[in-house]
Structure 1
Amino acid sequence: MDFTFSVGQLQALSNLLTTVDQEEEDLGEQPSEGLNPGQIGPPKGSKPTDSNPEKPTNTKQIWAEDDVPEGSEFEDIWDPRQQPEYEILFKQQVGTEDVFLGMSRKDGSTACCEDMMIKIKLPDCKAADITLDIKERFLALRSPEYKLGLHLPHPVDSKNGKAQFITDTHTLEVTLTMKREFDFINFA
């Protein structure tokens, strides 16, 4: 391959790479000077624009409240309590018309599930000793022996949930309804 370029081709390439602002600045320069790496990018002395105008205006504030992830106040690395075993299951409400006839658009994927069930095994615990706090994207569980700070995979309705402690297996079952942006499409 031949990579030699004529003067006209190089001039055309230079015109493509030069912006209107650079053309105005270049009027005072010598025409013998060509395009060099120092001419690429914004001109010297220009200040970069602020890419995030929503940052706090208070100069003593390090971060905005929205920058801190939900549930981070429950994370304590110095807490010696152990994390219990847990399992996240997804549930959907189906009828015979869904199972046998396939009349709705539901399938076995999590996109068609309405509820999330979290099963937490708490051996040697009583229901009275458990403290449960649920946020939109975070579940916090505390007991004298266990602690769990769980970031949920989908946003949930934190006001309307159901928790049931099964004493035979020492398992807490928390059922939460998921709130997702496109549920109106999946469940139409």
Structure 2
Amino acid sequence: MEELARLAGITVRTLRFYRERKLIPPPRREGRIAWYDDHHLARLRTITALLERGHTLNGIAELAEAFDHGRGVGELLGMEAPTEETPVRLTPEELADHFAGEVTPENLAAALDLGYLGVDGEEIVHISRRLLEVSSALVREGIPLGEVLRTGAEVRTHADALADLFADLILRHAPEETLHRLRPLARSVVDAELSLALDRRLRKQD
């Protein structure tokens, strides 16, 4: 326990508190000896990163419970409503392969904070195959995953504003059920406008 606390940069008292709150899984026991491993260390570092991002211990305990026992994908990812996105199931090793060397506790905390990741039993679930593929492609181009996630948070803010704008337009003139049917039109408008905006940006570069 002393060695684990030292490596995690916390006190033994804090480690005992986390154990009591079930924020980390119990150690493997051999007789009177309790063995901790890299999984415990990674969990502690993730807890520290989440606390630094403003998460409460109660919220972290809920995430820890999900990792240890699994929970419905829809509940974890907030996807009970209909969605066009396809979640992707990954083992921890497969997630690491997508972002070689970039799956740090800080980046994992940021991905959890954004809702990009959830857990279903033994598997990690990414909220969107398209976002996973784009994120990993950007990292392969040399862009740090932390920067990709920070940009993703900014993009989400703008995307929420665009969704509100389009929804307000439709709901002012049509029944609520029309919104889902016209959803592809909103995506087409945003895609076309973004393409034109990138054209303008590239012309400025030239």
TM over 0.5: no
Considering fraction of residues, name the structure with more strand: 1
Considering fraction of residues, name the structure with more helix: 2
- TM-score, scaled to structure 2: 0.20
